[in-house]
Amino acid sequence: MIEVRSLGATADGTDVQEVTLSGGPVTVRLLSLGAAIGGVDALDHSGRPGPMHLALDSLAAYEDRARNPHFGASIGRYANRIAGSTFPLDGREVHVDPNEGPNQLHGGPDGFDRRVWDLLDADGDDGGGTVVFRIVSPDGDQGFPGRVSATATYELSGDTLTITYGATSDAPTVINLTNHGYWNLDGAPTVDDHHLALAASLVLPVDGAGIPTGGLEPVVGTPFDLRARTALGPALAAHPPGFDHCFAVDGPPGSLRPAAVLDAPASGRWMTVRTDQPGVQLYTGNGLHPPFRVHGSVSLETQRFPDTPNRADLGSAVLRPGERYRAVTELRFGTGTAPSAAQPAD
């Protein structure tokens, strides 16, 4: 089932649409502002519906950058950080707009998450439905070269939400799109009582600014070893102020494979994450502020590695004319015993 309604207009007069998809046990609300998840409701172990994702209470709140740290939004052009806000591309140095000290975070001061996307399609069915948003980013946007056309497709089928990003460019550029979900599966003030397992044997060390300091390193014997189901409270206590690190998802990039399992015993809810991307950024709400609390959520942002445009050893983020960027993430929601992170949910 699907419902489309206007949330009103932004400060510059642009209309914002809210699309609600309902598929049995799961309801997903999507916003054209940021092509964002505005909320997810699912049943708990008692059969009662409740929220699984942090949400704000008004369009004005979502527009307020001080109150909205990318809640549920589509991030681009480049998710995560670019060191020094520069990178080489085809023999020249590209300078992009900084917004985190000297570095660029999440596409710059006016990234994709701060803009209203076009609602291209909204089609419902008994299991949920499909919603497609599009944004066109001009050449030079936030310093990035090339005119980029990007889409965010959300497909709800019963208990599974699949997010697919696509993009094309008319000139060589870099691209890295992700969804910045803020998950809290039981509504408690913090996620200390949640458990997390990552299908990740390697992590990318970073400095205090979140910039990679070297290559991927094994997690074994470190606080980053989250391969087995781990209680987040003790894990956060052992690694203050929390996690904001990219892990390499086990298995070959390009194939849809398990990345993470998050569960909350108090509600019985769990969610699994599968992706075709090389990495998953674990962020534990370290910078949340009222009306939320620090460590009030878990973000599992599937993506290319931070600063890849400057790091050939981490792969390539270049998109050239005639090529099509594609990134797929599958979220499945349920109750009861959570599946293993090493295996897809049956």
Whole-angstrom distance, CA of residue 279 vs CA of residue 253 = 8
Whole-angstrom distance, CA of residue 108 vs CA of residue 76 = 8
Specify burial of residue 324 (Cβ count, 10 A radius: 0-12, 13-18, 19+): exposed
Contacts of residue 282, defined as CB under 8 A and 6 or more positions apart, other chains included, come to 196, 198, 226, 243, 244, 245, 246, 247, 260, 298, 299, 300
Which DSSP string corresponds to 299-323?
EEEEESPTTGGG-GGG---EE-TT-
Q: Which residues are catalytic?
A: 180, 301
Question: Which helix (H) or strand (E) segment is 113 a member of?
Answer: none
Whole-angstrom distance, CA of residue 294 vs CA of residue 288 = 5
**Structure tokens, 292:** 């939320």
Instruction: Identify the bridge partners of residue 121 per DSSP, sorted by sequence position.
Output: 132
Phi, psi (degrees; rounded to nearest 5) at 176: -160, 100
